């Protein structure tokens, strides 16, 4: 069981690297400071490993014992938590959507806590409030600064000093990757630390290595999504984006708060896009898809972990019927809303009713 738990965590760490690649180096790649995806991912891997080893310990402590009691997390529970979170994250990686590993991991831990009725609810509310607050701050900050840059004609100066700005952007991208290591590696190794399989120092080292490998091997598609498909930006705007993400996440990590780095960076990019193009940025399909996945993903991992605990450890087979009922109700409601919207469009276009 110990080997299975370790393998689950390392698989999850690699998927964290794939998702974190866009969050850390997508900006540098999208702005043209790094021309090739491979170079961007190498820088990402180096930054993630450094951040994990140097400053990843505080968030590990939160993940391992700040949401549910540490003694609740056995090796079987580790497999359930990591398996539930990894499944959600892997699905998002296949779709090319930058997803927060903090959200799916915390969601999976909450599912276990709900099943055993042992949640530290106050700590959880603080974490969730920062999930909303930090991306919102990133969006507002980049939107306002981008508006100021535009009014002061900063873009012209940036173009004259493109090479210097490119170097600064690479440094900013590295620090954002560093912040990803500080914050996100804990999501893979925190449960192992809680179960007593690894110490904090060994957990951050091994987790950092496999997150770095995941960035190198699996990060290309998500890198493309964050770097190219939301909006275009100059090197100066890229520095703003990476600097904002790195600063907010490093501060959160110092206080042991697992925050959604992918959402911070993506929210910053959307802020730039809104400053340049207005609310039209929210009409892009990739932005709509990202917003939906952000809301659904923690509940998906929560539901999976709750179901697995109920079935495998508590023998509560009635939970299958409950989950199936919820899924059928949700699917039916979504189908009904889609049919109603289609009918309204049809009436509007044809100018009549039935």
Q: What is the pLDDT of residues 4-28, one digit of tens each?
A: 888 888 888 887 887 766 667 877 7
The predicted structure's pLDDT at residue 339: 77
Structure token digits, residue 61: 């402590």
Q: Are residues 224 and 337 in the same domain?
A: no
The alpha carbon of residue 143 and the mean position of all alpha carbons in its chain are separated, in whole angstroms, by 21
pTM, to two decimals: 0.81
Q: Are residues 235 and 261 in the same domain?
A: yes
The predicted structure's pLDDT at residue 109: 94
DSSP characters for 266-324?
HHHHHHHHHHHHGGGGGGSHHHHHHHHHHHHHHHHHHHHHHHHIIIIIS--THHHHHHH
Task: State pLDDT tens for residues 159-189.
Answer: 667 778 888 888 998 998 999 899 989 988 9
Residue 166 CB neighbour total at 10 angstroms = 18
Band the pLDDT of 48: cuts 50, 70, 90.
very high
Task: State pLDDT tens for residues 249-269.
Answer: 999 999 999 988 778 877 888
Q: DSSP 3-state helix, strand, coil percentages of the chain (rounded to 5)?
A: 85, 0, 15
Q: Are residues 330 and 284 in the same domain?
A: no
Q: Helices 200-218 and 2-31 meet at what angle, rounded to 10?
A: 50
How far is 21 from 262, CA to CA, in rounded Å?
9
Q: Are residues 236 and 124 in the same domain?
A: yes
Q: What's the average model confidence in pLDDT over 23-52?
A: 84
Q: Are residues 231 and 126 in the same domain?
A: yes
Q: Are residues 276 and 345 in the same domain?
A: no
How far is 197 from 189, CA to CA, in rounded Å?
10
Q: Are residues 213 and 348 in the same domain?
A: no
If phi > 0 it is left, if psi is from -120 to 50 it is alpha, else beta; for residue 119 that is: beta
Query: In the Cβ-directed half-sphere of 241, how many Cα atoms lie within 13 Å?
Result: 34
Q: How many domains are contained in the chain?
A: 2
How far is 93 from 231, CA to CA, in rounded Å?
20
How far is 216 from 218, CA to CA, in rounded Å?
6
CB 21 within 8 A of CB 44: yes
How far is 134 from 261, CA to CA, in rounded Å?
9
The predicted structure's pLDDT at residue 354: 46
Q: Are residues 184 and 143 in the same domain?
A: yes
| Phi, psi (rounded to 5 degrees) for 260 | -80, 90
Q: Are residues 325 and 311 in the same domain?
A: no
How far is 126 from 20, CA to CA, in rounded Å?
23
Band the pLDDT of 77: cuts 50, 70, 90.
very high
DSSP characters for 158-189?
HHHTHHHHHHHHHHHHHHHHHHHHHHHHHHHH
User: Taking every pair of C-alpha atoms in the chain, what is the biggest distance, in angstroms?
Assistant: 69
If phi > 0 it is left, if psi is from -120 to 50 it is alpha, else beta; for residue 74 that is: beta
The predicted structure's pLDDT at residue 154: 54
Alpha carbon of 36 to those of 22, 156, 231, 319: distances in Å? 14, 25, 18, 48
Q: Are residues 208 and 339 in the same domain?
A: no
CB 48 within 8 A of CB 14: no
How far is 176 from 111, CA to CA, in rounded Å?
30
Q: Are residues 311 and 336 in the same domain?
A: no
In 3D, which of 218, 211, 238 has the Cα closest to residue 227? 238
Structure token digits, residue 66: 């700040």
pLDDT mean across residues, the chain: 82
Q: Are residues 264 and 346 in the same domain?
A: no
The predicted structure's pLDDT at residue 348: 56
Residue 11 CB neighbour total at 10 angstroms = 18
How far is 45 from 321, CA to CA, in rounded Å?
43
In sequence order, what are the residues at sequence separation of 6 or more whose Cβ sits closer than 8 angstroms to the Cβ of residue 275?
Answer: 142, 143, 146, 147, 150
What is the domain range of residue 338? 320-354
């Amino acid at each position: 069981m110990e080997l299975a738990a370790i393998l689950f965590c390392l698989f999850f760490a690699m998927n964290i690297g794939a998702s974190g690649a866009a969050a850390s180096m997508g900006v540098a790649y999208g702005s043209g400071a790094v021309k090739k995806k491979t170079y961007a991912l190498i820088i990402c891997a180096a930054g993630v490993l450094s951040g994990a080893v140097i400053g990843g310990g505080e968030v590990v402590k939160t993940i391992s014992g700040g949401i549910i009691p540490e003694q609740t997390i056995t090796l079987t529970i580790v497999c359930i938590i990591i398996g539930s979170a990894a499944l959600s994250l892997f699905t998002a990686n296949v779709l090319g959507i930058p997803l927060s590993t903090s959200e799916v991991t915390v969601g999976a831990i909450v599912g276990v806590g709900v099943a055993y009725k042992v949640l530290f609810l106050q700590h959880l509310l603080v974490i969730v409030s920062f999930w909303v607050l930090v991306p919102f701050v990133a969006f507002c900050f980049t939107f306002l600064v981008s508006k100021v840059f535009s009014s002061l004609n900063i873009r012209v100066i940036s173009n004259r000093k493109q090479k210097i700005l490119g170097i600064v952007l690479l440094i900013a991208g590295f620090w954002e990757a560093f912040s990803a290591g500080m914050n996100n590696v804990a999501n893979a190794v925190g449960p192992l630390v809680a179960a007593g399989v690894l110490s904090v120092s060994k957990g951050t080292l091994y987790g950092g290595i496999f997150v770095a490998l995941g960035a190198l091997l699996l990060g290309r598609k998500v890198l493309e999504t964050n770097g190219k498909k939301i909006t275009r930006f100059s090197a100066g705007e890229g520095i703003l984006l990476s600097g904002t993400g790195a600063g907010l996440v490093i501060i959160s990590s110092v206080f042991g708060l697992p925050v959604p780095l992918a959402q911070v960076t993506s929210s910053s990019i959307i802020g730039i896009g809104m400053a340049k193009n207005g609310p039209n940025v929210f009409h892009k399909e990739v932005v709509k898809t990202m917003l939906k996945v952000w809301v659904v993903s923690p509940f998906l991992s929560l539901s999976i972990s709750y179901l697995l605990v109920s079935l495998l450890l508590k023998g509560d087979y009635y939970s299958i019927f409950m989950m199936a009922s919820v899924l059928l109700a949700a699917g039916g409601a979504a189908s009904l809303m889609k049919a109603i919207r289609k009918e309204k469009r049809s009436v509007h276009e044809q100018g009549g009713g039935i």
